[in-house]
């Protein structure tokens, strides 16, 4: 990783990824021309419903896909180098951990139950910072303090089962920080947490972004969390990118009918169930996805062209991209 990236410049560029899974039932067209860019020091939200390909996108980035995945095209540039060209060994040595880290939904399955929290963070310290016993121990305490864990010395000695979900998730972040990663991929990190704990956790992420220019790709299906911490948002539907824009544009000026539908079906926008709007139909199966725009069977704006032609991801503003034939008509 030679290229130096300054704040506001792209650190991760995913270009036109096409990816299939071969399964017994047939070929699942999981990603169809997926592109997205995460800039240094920004929190980029990736939102979509179950099976839309948001997790697959992140796993592709880290080379963590199952054997039945076939990448048919595209590239993943991280600080100027294509991760898809790297060998497993190179990824392990130079990328995972020291450059890009990932945290998952359920921290209790990511932590080892038979080691204390401190020992697990120390492992990262020894690998990436210092193998001196006293010094590494001190560094662990620094990292635990950085993620706002109360009483780091106590937490150091605790086993995962003695910590709450929010504390475990912060230990995960501490492990990531110990590796000096520049990019964090967080896959639904707060779904298992209570709101009060979620609020604390989100504050920690925002502070890391502000103070240390950490870049975060934040995957979730929760629109409220997206509006809370993200600078930019990418909306995925059925393995395709529907829309990318700055967070205010996504919420105040959505141009894709799916984005619009998602926002209006979120409780909180409408305060009464009687006013809820819903998107008709269900998420498509990607073994035999709809032709053209994959959203067309559920779309109120759909016309003949939507069945036949896939809309290109068009730039309609400085940071605003949308894939819809009728983006000008959406309201």
Partner 1 sequence: MSNIVETKNLKNFFQSKKGTVKAVNDVTLNVVKGETLGVVGESGCGKTTLGRTILKLIEPTDGKIFFDGEDITDHSGKKMREFRKKMNIVFQDPVSALNPQMTVYDHLDRPLEIHNMVSSEDEKLTKMVDILNTMGLKAEHLIRYPHELSGGQKQRVCIARALCLEPDFLVLDEPTSALDVSVQSKILKLLDRAKEKFDVSYMFISHNINLVRAISDRLGVMYLGRLVEVGDSDEIFENPQHPYTKALFKSVPQPDPDEKVEAPLSGQVPSPVEPPEGCNFAPRCKQKIGEICEKHDPELKESGERKIACHLYY
Minimum gap (Å) between residue 203 Cβ and partner 1 = 5
For residue 319 the two structure tokens come to 């940071």
* Shortest CB 98 distance to partner 1, Å: 30
Looking at the Cβ atoms of 86 and 283, the one nearer to partner 1 is: 283
Q: Which helix (H) or strand (E) holds 108?
A: helix 107-110
Pairing of strands 100-103, 183-187: parallel
**Does residue 184 bind partner 1 (CB under 8 A)?**
no
Interior CA angle at 217 toward 315 and 143, to 5°? 150
Q: Which is nearer to partner 1, 96 or 158 (CB)?
A: 158
| Contact criterion met (CB below 8 Å) for 263 and 251 | yes
Q: What are phi and psi of 152, to 5 degrees?
A: -55, -35
Binding mask 198-217 for partner 1 (x = CB under 8 A): xxx-xx--------------
Query: Which x/- pattern over 217-256 shows residues binding partner 1 (rule: CB under 8 A)?
Result: ----xxxxxxxx------------------xx--x-----
Shortest Å, Cβ 76 to partner 1: 27
Q: Which residues contact 187 (CB under 8 A, 6 or more apart)?
A: 55, 58, 102, 103, 104, 105, 219
Instruction: Give the shortest CB-197-to-partner 1 separation in angstroms.
Output: 6
- Please say which residue, 31 or 47, places its beta carbon nearer to partner 1: 47
Task: Lay out the site mask for partner 1 across 145-174 (x = CB under 8 A, - = otherwise).
Answer: -----x-------------x-xx-------
Phi, psi (degrees; rounded to nearest 5) at 192: -90, 5
CA distances from 128 to 12, 238, 305 (A): 22, 38, 54
What is each CA distance from 20 to 30, 68, 189, 290, in whole angstroms?
5, 8, 26, 16
Displacement of CA 223 from its chain's centroid (Å) = 13
* Per CB under 8 A, 288 contacts partner 1: no
Q: Going residue by residue from 107 to 146, which x/- string records binding to partner 1, judged by CB under 8 A? A: ----------------------------------------
Binding site for partner 1 (CB under 8 A): 49-50, 150, 164, 166-167, 194-200, 202-203, 221-228, 247-248, 251, 261-263, 265-274, 276-279, 282-283
């Amino acid at each position: 990783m030679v290229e130096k990236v300054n704040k506001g410049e792209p650190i991760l560029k995913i270009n036109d990824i096409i990816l299939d899974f071969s399964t017994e039932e047939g070929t699942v067209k999981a990603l169809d021309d997926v592109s997205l860019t995460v800039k240094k020091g920004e929190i980029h939200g990736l939102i979509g419903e179950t099976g839309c390909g948001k997790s697959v996108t992140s796993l592709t980035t880290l080379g963590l896909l199952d054997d039945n995945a076939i990448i048919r095209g595209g590239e993943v540039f991280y600080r100027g180098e294509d991760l898809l060209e790297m060998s497993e060994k190179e990824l392990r040595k130079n990328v995972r951990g020291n450059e890009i880290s990932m945290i998952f939904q359920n921290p209790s399955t990511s932590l080892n139950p038979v080691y204390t929290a401190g020992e697990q963070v120390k492992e990262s310290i020894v690998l990436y910072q210092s193998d001196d016993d006293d010094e590494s121990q001190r560094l662990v305490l620094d990292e635990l303090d950085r993620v706002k864990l109360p009483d780091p010395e106590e937490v150091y000695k605790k086993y995962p089962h003695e910590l709450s979900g929010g504390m475990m998730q912060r230990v995960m972040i501490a492990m990531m920080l110990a590796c000096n990663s520049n990019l964090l991929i967080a896959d639904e990190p707060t779904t298992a947490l209570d709101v009060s704990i979620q609020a604390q956790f989100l504050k920690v992420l925002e502070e890391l972004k502000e103070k240390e220019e950490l870049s975060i790709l934040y995957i979730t299906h929760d629109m409220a969390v997206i509006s809370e911490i993200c600078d930019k948002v990418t909306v995925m539907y059925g393995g395709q990118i529907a829309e990318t824009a700055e967070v205010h544009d996504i919420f105040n000026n959505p141009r894709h009918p799916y984005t619009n539908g998602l926002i209006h079906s979120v409780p909180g926008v409408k305060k009464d169930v009687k006013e809820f709007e819903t998107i008709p139909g269900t998420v498509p199966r990607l073994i035999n996805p709809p032709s053209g725009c994959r959203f067309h069977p559920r779309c109120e704006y759909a016309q003949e062209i939507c069945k036949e032609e896939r809309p290109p991801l068009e730039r309609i503003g400085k940071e605003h991209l949308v894939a819809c034939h009728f983006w000008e008509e959406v309201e």
